[in-house]
Amino acid sequence: MKRTLLAGLFGLASLATASVAAADTCGGVYTVKSGDSLSVIADSLYKDAGKWTLIHSKNIGAIGPKPNAIRVGMKLDVTCLDGLPKGLPGGRKITAAAPAAAAPVKIQAGNASVRKKINLLTATDYAPFTHKESHNGGLMTEIVDAAMATAEPKEGYAIHWVDHWASHEEPLLSNALLDAGFPWFMPDCKNNPEEYRCQNFDTSKPLFELLVLLFASKDRPMVFEKDEDIFGKTICRPQGYGSYMLDQDERYWWRDGKVTVVAPATPKECYEMVLEGTADAVMMNEFTGRAHLAELGFTDQFQVVPQPVSIQAFHLIVHKTHPQKDYILETIDRGLNGLRESGRYQEIVEDHMTRIWAGF
């Protein structure tokens, strides 16, 4: 009897130790239960229902474009943010979850030797994706740099910053003055083959996928559960941002006049138009939209409409006439595969997500 009791005590002690160890972890894997929605899960894990997009973004491949597509038993990867959530299986130790100090990218002086390398092109002013002052040049810059380092092309590679986005496709990439550019969205080329980018560029595998959302005034909340809910609405999209995601996946909301698109010169004007009532919503990718709201001081005045317009993927693009197009794309794709297999891709994304959300 005494031996049995001691064994039981040891068992209880082991369980207690395991529970303490689990509580000391952050992030991990959440299993969907009956009655769950992404907002319910976000409220439970992060104490903030508005962080449903953080969970959706992290699990786009499993969930797809509609946030209500989760099902009981589905395993969701959950990012560690501000020390939450704690105690999930597969979480990281709290001490390892905090990001290192931000390290802005260092631009090296150029020389003619880079002509023999694979020369990649990006630009600043697109935080949190590419920006010289962002950590490691931004999320997309670090992913591309790490993927190329993993692929180890024999000729080496270099990343160049030309801070004039309009010059990238034409003439820098079209004339192969530089070899490949990032990060770029691609239109729905299957249904819109006449689009310039479809006709002139081939792409890598997706570097990163993100949600395109609607941001509406809390004073005039928008319901968007089915296509018809958006018909007749005025969507604001600043000049230069492109609205092709309204005409893809065999839907033609813009082309057929089901929605109206207005395009003022700046994002600020878009948000002001919504607050004034001359537009119903601003259409932005999740991170750019939230960053705008924080920068403008409008966060408390806007609703993130709980249904994405679409999922868009960033790519590296190479002009179709480039003599080494296939080799360059094979190299970056091989590097991305290696990055994912090693787990390093996930580490990079989690590190940046922690920084990005802290800014919101």
- pLDDT above 90 (res 321): yes
- pLDDT above 90 (res 274): yes
Q: Which of 41-50, 105-114, 161-170 has the lowest mean pLDDT?
A: 105-114
Tell me, yes or no, whether 324 lies in a domain: no
Which pLDDT tens digit goes with each residue over 39-54?
A: 999 999 999 998 999 9
Tell me, yes or no, whether 309 lies in a domain: no
Which pLDDT tens digit goes with each residue over 122-133?
A: 999 898 999 999
Categorize the per-residue pLDDT at 38 as very low, low, confident or very high, splitting at 50, 70 and 90.
very high
> Which whole number is the average pLDDT over 143-152?
98
Tell me, yes or no, whether 199 lies in a domain: no
> Which whole number is the average pLDDT over 55-79?
93
Tell me, yes or no, whether 44 lies in a domain: yes
CB-based contact 212:283 (threshold 8 Å): yes
Q: Which domain holds residue 78?
A: 2-97
The residue written with tokens 């989690």 in the block is 350
Query: Between the ranges 100-114, 247-261, 326-340, where is the mean pLDDT highest?
Result: 326-340
> Which whole number is the average pLDDT over 99-113?
79
Q: What is the pLDDT of residue 184?
A: 96
- pLDDT above 90 (res 359): no
Tell me the pLDDT of the chain averaged across its residues.
90
Categorize the per-residue pLDDT at 104 as very low, low, confident or very high, splitting at 50, 70 and 90.
confident
Categorize the per-residue pLDDT at 82 as very low, low, confident or very high, splitting at 50, 70 and 90.
confident
Tokens of 320: 């179709």
Torsion sign over Cα 258, 263, 267, 271:
negative
Structural domains counted in the chain:
1
Tell me, yes or no, whether 177 lies in a domain: no
Distance in angstroms (rounded) separating the CA atoms of residues 203 and 197: 10
Q: What is the pLDDT of residue 97?
A: 60
Tell me, yes or no, whether 37 lies in a domain: yes
Pairing label, strands 201-203, 234-236: unpaired
SS3 for 22-75 is HHCEECEEEECCCCCCHHHHHHHHHCCHHHHHHHHHHCHHHHCCCHHHCCCCCE
To the nearest 10 degrees (0 to 180), the angle between helices 325-342 and 139-151 is: 100
Name the percent of the chain lying above pLDDT 70: 92
- pLDDT above 70 (res 18): no
- Looking up residue 60, the CATH number of its domain turns out to be 3.10.350.10
Categorize the per-residue pLDDT at 117 as very low, low, confident or very high, splitting at 50, 70 and 90.
very high
Q: What is the pLDDT of residue 95?
A: 67
Name the percent of the chain lying above pLDDT 90: 75
Q: What is the pLDDT of residue 9?
A: 35
Dihedral of the CA atoms 315, 340, 49, 230 (nearest 10)? Answer: 30
Residues contacting 91, CB < 8 A, separation 6+: 22, 25, 26, 27, 28, 80, 85
Side chain identity, residue 179: D
- pLDDT above 70 (res 22): no
Q: What is the pLDDT of residue 116?
A: 94
Distance in angstroms (rounded) separating the CA atoms of residues 38 and 56: 7
Neighbours of 57 (CB within 10 A): 21
Tell me, yes or no, whether 118 lies in a domain: no
DSSP classification of residue 98? S
Tell me, yes or no, whether 167 lies in a domain: no
The residue written with tokens 């959530």 in the block is 85
> Which whole number is the average pLDDT over 230-245?
93
- pLDDT above 80 (res 21): no
Q: How far from 15 is each of 7, 11, 19, 27, CA to CA, in Å?
A: 12, 6, 6, 21
> Which whole number is the average pLDDT over 234-252?
90
Q: Which of 1-10, 61-70, 150-159, 276-285 has the lowest mean pLDDT?
A: 1-10
Distance in angstroms (rounded) separating the CA atoms of residues 319 and 213: 30
